[in-house]
Amino acid sequence: MSSRFDNKVVVVTGAAQGIGEAYARALAAEGASVVVADLNEGAGVGVVEAIEADGGTAMFVRTDVSSHESATALVEAVTAAYGGIDGLVNNAAIYGDMQFDLLISVDWDYYRKFMSVNMDGALVMTRAVYPSMQARGGGSIVNQSSTAAYLYSGFYGLAKVGVNGLTQQLAHEVGGMEIRVNAIAPGPTDTAATRTQAGDAAKDLVKGLALKRMGQPEDMVGACLFLLSDEASWVTGQIIAVDGGQTFRS
pLDDT for res 99? 86
The predicted pLDDT at position 22 comes to: 97
Name the average pLDDT for the chain: 93
157: closest CA among 115, 116, 96, 110? 115
Q: Where are the beta strands (DSSP E) in 74-200?
A: 87-90, 139-144, 179-186
CB 186 within 8 A of CB 147: yes
Burial class of residue 203, CB neighbours in 10 A (0-12, 13-18, 19+): exposed
Name the pLDDT band for 98 (thresholds 50, 70, 90): confident
Residue 235's CB is within 10 A of a number of other CB atoms, namely 14
pLDDT of residue 59: 98
Q: Give the pLDDT confidence score for residue 96 in this predicted structure.
A: 72
Give the pLDDT confidence score for residue 200 in this predicted structure.
63
> Mean pLDDT across the stretch 231-242?
98
Q: Say whether pLDDT at 213 is over 70.
A: yes
Let me know if 110 is a catalytic residue: no
pLDDT at position 207: 86
pLDDT tens-digit readout, 60-91: 999 999 999 999 999 999 999 999 999 999 99
How far apart, in whole angstroms, are the C-alpha atoms of residue 144 and residue 187? 11
The total number of residues shown for the chain amounts to: 250
- The Cα 190–Cα 218 span in angstroms is 10
Q: Specify the pLDDT at position 192.
A: 65
Query: Per the residue annotation, which of 23, 82, 150, 156 is the catalytic one?
Result: 156
Q: How far apart are CA 183 and CA 172, in angstroms?
A: 14
DSSP labels for 42-105? HHHHHHHHHHHHTT-EEEEEE--TT-HHHHHHHHHHHHHHHS--SEEEE---S-TTPPP--TTT
- pLDDT number for residue 103: 95
Q: Is the pLDDT of residue 189 over 90?
A: no
Res 29 pLDDT > 70: yes
Sorted by where each starts, the structural domains of the chain and their CATH numbers stand as 9-242 (3.40.50.720)
Per-residue three-class SS string for 209-222: CCCCCCECHHHHHH
Say what the pLDDT of residue 35 is. Answer: 98
pLDDT at 89: 98
Q: What percent of the chain has pLDDT over 70?
A: 94
